Structure 1
Amino acid sequence: MLKRIPSPIRWLAAGGIGIYGAYFIDDTTEAKLCQRNFRTFYNGIALAVDYKLHGSDVKTLPALHERVANRIFNVFEKNGGLYIKMGQMIAAQSAILPSAYQRRSKTLLDSAPAVPLSSVERVFMEDFGCRPEDIFIDFAPSPVASASIAQVHKAVLPSGQVVAVKVQKPAVQKQMGWDLYALRALLHLYEYLFELPLTFSAAYIEQHIRKEVDFENEARNGQQAWDNLAQQPQLKDKVYIPKIYPEYSTKRVLVCEWVDGVQLTDVEKISALGLDYKEAMRTSIEAFASQIFLSGFVHGDPHAGNVLVTHQPRNKRKVQVVLVDHGLYVQESERFRIQYCKLWQSLFMLDLKTMTEICTEWGIHDVDMFASITLQKPFVASKAVHLQQTSVQDIYDFQKGVKDRLKHFLEDQQQFPRELIFLLRNMEIVRGNNKSVGSPVNRLSIMAQYAVQGIDDCHGDDVRNERYWLSHQLRTTWRKLVFNFTLLLLSLSFWLMKVRQNTNKLLFGTTVQGFEDLVDQRMKEQMHLQYGIQIDEHLFDA
């Protein structure tokens, strides 16, 4: 009977049965590797083809952005796990993405479905050889929060200390290798199709993602971050990192002190505590500025959910900012840290020579473009920072050569400091936090002041050994005067904007854009065209 069936049909039938069998088996597993990888590659290739076919037609660009944004974020949500992390990285940049991405990214929730208590108990049995109730005198069976790779349960240690127990979801370790392979493969594909530098950072990002799912590494990060903060007297009592209990922690379980706090951007709840949300925002920016410019050990995911606000233990009327979730950190080299401090100082002094020297050493061939990315506001070398505006002619000039500028931007990829990948992510998230509550704090001024402090700290006694000490002192004094004058002008611009905001609110009951909103608007005009994040009509032409 089977011999009468044509061979191609038999092969198709066998293939169909095999595929269905593989799908059935994969569907019964916790990791669902086959489904997730098929979904990733299918949609990745589909959106690449979509951009290739329709990316040059300006009339269809809005619809194209809508389709691609929905496709990408649907994959993130359905695959879950590390894909949620990838989606959050994109969502953190949503302010400078096309509007379709901004709308769609808002639906990517910080939370994720929790795994049942039986899965949590399985992790404990594999890591400790016992159940949670054998370790804690009380362990809440339902999690208080569930994120992409872990969930948090409230518990009590035998000592009576209330703790947060972060438990990794069992499927994450099985999915990680395949997820990272899929990400790398897609980056190679897009680099080939669009002729843009994308893969140079893949290995560095993968290395840090692997560290992020190692909770023993997170415990070390938290301790080091606390040690660094302890060396900053200006942040004493203002910033806190919960105590970690390494004796109760493994690579998949992390136990730390429980802290009751309110999210940084929840203005109503912060005010209900009798605290000043503006002071909370300022303190959070100072904390991350100290990491970037002073210690060089930088939190890679400082979104509002990881920055809590509470009372200072010694003064209930004062704000204390609590930093949590220390899985993703980047360690700057000392040479890079000093160069980055000098870069910031030179940006405010229009010291194009220093800026060019640093950018050249980093393999960056477009100083204005990189300055815009660093400040997160438009930068033109001929204008002071506080006077930067975007004209119609600027936009037209950028638009003509966006793809060539992108390809030229990183011609020497091996020289590019990988620290910048997560550093710029940190600064974009911090900027977004400030913007979301009406820009109450002059973020750029705080960052710049910490950058100069980072330069002063690195000189130390070397200045005394210089042959022309007086000449050096005069040059340094002059540079500080110029720098402080620029900061003064920037501060005046900021406060004039605040006066305008408050006046309109009091007299007319209307809300005027804040400082970060205006910066953001100008960034959209330039960065979409400079950096290629919003796609120009000829960006993906072959």
Structure 2
Amino acid sequence: MILTRLVQRIPRRTRWLTCGTVAGLYGGYVWDDHTEAKLVQRNLRTFYHGMALAVDYKWHGGQMETINALHERVANRIFDVFERNGGLYIKMGQVIAAQSAVLPAAYQRRARTLLDAAPAVPLASIERVFLEEYGALPNDVFAWFDPHPIASASIAQVHRARLKDTGEWVAVKIQKPAVQRQLGWDLYALRALLHMYEYLFELPLTFAADYIEMHIRKEVDFENEARNGQRAWDHLSQVSDLKDKVYIPKIYPEISTRRVLVCEWIDQAVQLTDREKITDMGLDYKEAMKISIEAFASQIFLSGFVHGDPHAGNVLVTRHPKRPNKVRVVLVDHGLYVEESERFRQQYCKLWQSLFMLDLNTMSDICAEWGIHDVDMFASITLQKPFVADKPVQQSATLKDIYEFQSGIKARLKHFLEDQAQFPRELIFLLRNMEIVRGNNKMVGSPVNRLNIMASWAVRGLDEHDHHHGLQGLWRRFVFRFTLCMMSISFWLIQLRQQTSKLLFGTTVHGFEDLVDDRMKEQMYLQYGIQIDENVFDA
């Protein structure tokens, strides 16, 4: 009764306006819920949770007693949004997940649940993409088209088909229809949140936004992916050590479009880290891992055109067509590539050489030019193993020490990237490449000395005029080779320990990458107060 009187006191025009607004919002929500893009829901979800976690950190970020619970809440909130929104949000989440080692343990645990997989869209949606791209249905474009996808990921799914003119089997990668409509809104939401957090927390977050956005836009352009694949093949086919060992499937640009990519079908291919299947095929999984690492090292240090997502699903192993008992490594998914400037490529080669020669002057000069002020930390990130030149190591770190570190991380990050304009944007995806490659090696027991391979290719990538001649040049080459030799001895001793333990006691001991991880976690805890979750480096 009272409520009725209160409503009657509201002017009729206001009541109608309010009812109309509520009805319009509800109608808009219902309409959006029935669309594939779900733009309204996804953006509202993003901004609501984005504001909520900012407020949560502002209100509770200064309380040491509740800091771990805060990290847990925020990590769950962020990755829940990534998973529910899907699409490009999965890609964004993977960028964070790849660098989660420097985040609190809650983020590290939650990041491991973010997979680059998504439910397949129905055939009707795929047919709509074909009608928009070709003006025809899949069965009109191909002699035969499998309606059931063989794989589905965040932005596309893959079907098997047969060409009309030649009868060749092909893999058809089809972009999900909502991706193009979501792209602009998703990138706008990401940029808006970065600006908001940079303002609220005074952290350097937006300096690489343009670079990341440019690469994300390129990744959803399958014509660009076709060009990337061809360019990568042109390089690998000219490297004498690799041209007969690494293969990129043939691309059919004449029947590919911006949203549909047609590639050669590869039979009997298994993922790089599926050790059992590779062994059952009578092939050497160690050789496969070595070839894959060399392929990516050649891109980083020789061509300067680098695959940005070399996870095991994008690195396949098959029999060599001419020598069936030999391995051939097949690289797929060429949407994300990083192009290094020639100056950066030369500097990066020199940086790796100087890391193995303990040439601190060269390391410091390069880091200074890149606007990096903590050489030891950057060297550790680059090698993905501890590097300490002359910094004293703390003997212990209490909970209070860790809290004070996390509270002061703002100042450390601002100092580390004080000169943002100088920071090479190539490093953003380059370090991701190396972290994924390291994870692949670790997953199968670290059978390959990754660091020595990378260092050898780095020196190979230096131009002739960069090599020193005379006694100085001989001494530098001796120091470099001696360092590699010592690392090789350490690596083989670890391998011997693994094999001996397995043969004599039937037990499995840590491999080279696991021991590097343990040492890295120890040093990050003792020197910087970062407590890394025990499984953060798991691939």
- Give TM-score, length-normalised by structure 2: 0.90
Q: Which residue of 2 aligns with 1:453?
A: 460
Q: Secondary structure at the match of 1:163?
A: strand
Higher mean C-alpha displacement, 20-29 vs 425-434: 20-29
Kindly report which structure 2 residues correspond to 1:500-515, keeping only aligned pairs within 5 A, or say none.
500-515=497-512
Q: Which residue of 1 aligns with 2:395?
A: 392
Using the alignment, how far apart are the partners of 2:10 and 2:481 within structure 1? Answer: 84
Q: Secondary structure at the match of 2:207?
A: helix
Higher mean C-alpha displacement, 298-307 vs 116-125: 116-125
1:472 positional shift? 2.8
Q: Which residue of 2 aligns with 1:443?
A: 450
Kindly report which structure 2 residues correspond to 1:394-473, keeping only aligned pairs within 5 A, or say none.
399=405, 402-455=409-462, 458-459=463-464, 472-473=469-470
Alignment CA distance shift 1:165-1:296 (3 Å): same
Q: Which residue of 2 aligns with 1:129?
A: 135
Please report the RMSD computed on the Cα atoms of aligned residues, expressed in angstroms: 2.6
Q: Deviations over 1:161-184 (max 9, x none)?
A: 110000001110000001011111
Q: Deviations over 1:472-503 (max 9, x none)?
A: 33322211110111111112222222222233
1:369 positional shift? 1.5
Using the alignment, how far apart are the partners of 2:89 and 2:139 within structure 1? Answer: 32
Q: Which residue of 2 aligns with 1:353?
A: 361
1:116 positional shift? 1.1
Q: Deviations over 1:135-158 (max 9, x none)?
A: 211100011011111110000112
Q: Which residue of 2 aligns with 1:107?
A: 113
Q: Which residue of 1 aligns with 2:170?
A: 163
Aligned residues: 521
Q: Which residue of 2 aligns with 1:118?
A: 124
Q: Which residue of 2 aligns with 1:27?
A: 33
Q: Which residue of 2 aligns with 1:343?
A: 351
Alignment CA distance shift 1:532-1:283 (3 Å): farther
1:404 positional shift? 2.8
- Given candidates 457, 475, 478, the residue that maps to 2:475 is 478
8 Å CA contact retained: 1:81, 1:149: yes
Q: Which residue of 2 aligns with 1:373?
A: 381
- Given candidates 167, 172, 188, the residue that maps to 1:181 is 188
1:293 positional shift? 0.3
Higher mean C-alpha displacement, 503-512 vs 309-318: 503-512
1:224 positional shift? 0.1
Using the alignment, how far apart are the partners of 1:437 and 1:98 within structure 2? Answer: 27
Using the alignment, how far apart are the partners of 1:48 and 1:528 within structure 2? Answer: 27
Using the alignment, how far apart are the partners of 1:439 and 1:242 within structure 2? Answer: 27
Q: Secondary structure at the match of 1:363?
A: coil
Alignment CA distance shift 1:91-1:115 (3 Å): same
1:402 positional shift? 4.5
Q: Which residue of 2 aligns with 1:287?
A: 295
1:390 positional shift? 6.4
Using the alignment, how far apart are the partners of 1:241 and 1:55 within structure 2? Answer: 49
1:272 positional shift? 1.0
- Given candidates 206, 214, 219, the residue that maps to 1:199 is 206
Is 1:36 matched with 2:33?
A: no
Q: Which residue of 2 aligns with 1:303?
A: 311
Higher mean C-alpha displacement, 114-123 vs 292-301: 114-123
1:100 positional shift? 3.2
Q: Which amino acid aligns with 1:444?
A: L
Q: How high is the sequence identity, in percent, across the aligned residues?
A: 73
8 Å CA contact retained: 1:402, 1:531: no
Alignment CA distance shift 1:162-1:38 (3 Å): same
8 Å CA contact retained: 1:97, 1:528: no
Alignment CA distance shift 1:499-1:59 (3 Å): farther
Q: Which residue of 2 aligns with 1:468?
A: none
Using the alignment, how far apart are the partners of 1:108 and 1:219 within structure 2? Answer: 27
Q: Which amino acid aligns with 1:142?
A: H
Q: Which amino acid aligns with 2:144?
A: D
1:530 positional shift? 7.5
- Give TM-score, length-normalised by structure 1: 0.90
8 Å CA contact retained: 2:395, 2:526: no
Q: Which residue of 2 aligns with 1:4?
A: 8
Q: Which amino acid aligns with 1:377?
A: K
Q: Which residue of 2 aligns with 1:467?
A: none
Using the alignment, how far apart are the partners of 2:319 and 2:518 within structure 1? Answer: 35
Q: Secondary structure at the match of 1:154?
A: strand
Using the alignment, how far apart are the partners of 1:290 and 1:394 within structure 2? Answer: 40
Q: Secondary structure at the match of 1:200?
A: coil
- Given candidates 3, 18, 23, the residue that maps to 1:17 is 23
8 Å CA contact retained: 1:96, 1:523: no
Q: Deviations over 1:429-474 (max 9, x none)?
A: 111111112211111111000000001xx226x88xxxxxxx8333
1:4 positional shift? 2.3
Alignment CA distance shift 1:376-1:454 (3 Å): same
Q: Which amino acid aligns with 1:236?
A: K
Using the alignment, how far apart are the partners of 2:526 and 2:31 within structure 1? Answer: 47
8 Å CA contact retained: 1:348, 1:483: yes
8 Å CA contact retained: 2:292, 2:329: yes
Q: Which amino acid aligns with 1:252?
A: R
Q: Which residue of 1 aligns with 2:537?
A: none
Is 1:81 matched with 2:87?
A: yes
Alignment CA distance shift 1:497-1:119 (3 Å): same
Higher mean C-alpha displacement, 504-513 vs 124-133: 504-513
Using the alignment, how far apart are the partners of 1:473 and 1:341 within structure 2? Answer: 21
Higher mean C-alpha displacement, 6-15 vs 507-516: 6-15
Q: Which amino acid aligns with 2:8?
A: R
1:64 positional shift? 2.6
- Given candidates 58, 69, 72, the residue that maps to 2:75 is 69
8 Å CA contact retained: 2:318, 2:328: yes
1:405 positional shift? 2.5
1:96 positional shift? 5.5
Using the alignment, how far apart are the partners of 1:358 and 1:146 within structure 2? Answer: 42
Higher mean C-alpha displacement, 65-74 vs 502-511: 502-511
Higher mean C-alpha displacement, 158-167 vs 496-505: 496-505
Using the alignment, how far apart are the partners of 1:531 and 1:426 within structure 2? Answer: 24
Using the alignment, how far apart are the partners of 1:29 and 1:114 within structure 2? Answer: 16
Q: Which amino acid aligns with 1:227?
A: D
Q: Which amino acid aligns with 1:86?
A: M
Higher mean C-alpha displacement, 48-57 vs 31-40: 48-57
Q: Secondary structure at the match of 1:233?
A: coil
1:528 positional shift? 7.0
Using the alignment, how far apart are the partners of 2:317 and 2:121 within structure 1? Answer: 28
Q: Which amino acid aligns with 1:80?
A: G
Is 1:253 matched with 2:263?
A: no
Q: Secondary structure at the match of 2:351?
A: helix
Q: Deviations over 1:285-332 (max 9, x none)?
A: 100000000000000000111000111111111111100000000110
Is 1:487 matched with 2:484?
A: yes
Q: Deviations over 1:14-54 (max 9, x none)?
A: 44333212211211222111100011111122222223333
Higher mean C-alpha displacement, 429-438 vs 45-54: 45-54
Q: Which residue of 2 aligns with 1:540?
A: none
Using the alignment, how far apart are the partners of 1:435 and 1:41 within structure 2? Answer: 38
Q: Secondary structure at the match of 2:31?
A: helix
Q: Secondary structure at the match of 2:73?
A: helix
Q: Secondary structure at the match of 1:408?
A: helix
Higher mean C-alpha displacement, 99-108 vs 281-290: 99-108
